[in-house]
Copies of this chain bind each other. A is one copy, B any other.
């Protein structure tokens, strides 16, 4: 891959790194306490396996992106990197969707299941979760763009080979 084609990829990966690191940091620091019926109630990310999964996925994506930024792979590994990018995109997509589903119950509750919303009691916690989800969503969009850009490069080569 030429240097000119690497620059947009480098910029996209830099943005993705910022987004995944922010998502991890915002999620880890989400914490709020509330007194409900004289019981102290503390909300933190580690109370839910879904939020833990979100942190793990975003930490993995941060590490992976960091490695690729500073140790750019040889062109011969390009296809392998494309498959790894695809797996990271799927993992990010999965972590956001899972957290969004739990966040929706946290915000609106589910009267049928008898699950009450908790965001009224712990608004700071919910704001942090929302922030982490926005960062995670940005990271997923950037990884989708990275995939499209890599595919676009592959396709260009494919078109040239057909001429």
Chain B residues near A101 (CB-CB < 8 A): 50, 97-99, 101-102
Q: Chain B residues near A49 (CB, 8 Å)?
A: 104
A157 at the interface (CB under 8 A from B): yes
Known: A50-B101, A82-B151, A115-B115. 10 other contacts (CB 8 A): A41-B112, A47-B112, A47-B113, A83-B151, A86-B147, A90-B144, A101-B101, A101-B102, A113-B118, A160-B161
Looking at the complex, which one of B90, B104, B116, B158 makes contact with A154 (CB distance below 8 Å)? B158
Q: Which chain B residues lie closer than 8 Å to A60 at the CB level?
A: none
Q: How many copies does the complex hold?
A: 2
A48 touches B110 (CB 8 A): yes
Q: Which residues of A contact B (CB under 8 A)?
A: 41-43, 47-50, 79, 82-83, 86, 89-90, 93-102, 104-106, 110, 112-116, 118, 144, 147-148, 151, 154-155, 157-158, 160-161
Q: With a CB–CB cut-off of 8 A, which chain B residues contact A114?
A: 115-116, 118
For A98, give its contact among B48, B98, B115, B160 (CB under 8 Å): B98
Q: Assess A157 versus B161: contact at CB under 8 Å? Given A50-B104, A93-B90.
A: yes
- Tell me, in angstroms, the Cα distance from A74 to B134 when the chains sit together: 38
A151 — which chain B residues lie within 8 A by C-beta?
79, 82-83
* CA distance in complex: A83, B148 (Å): 8
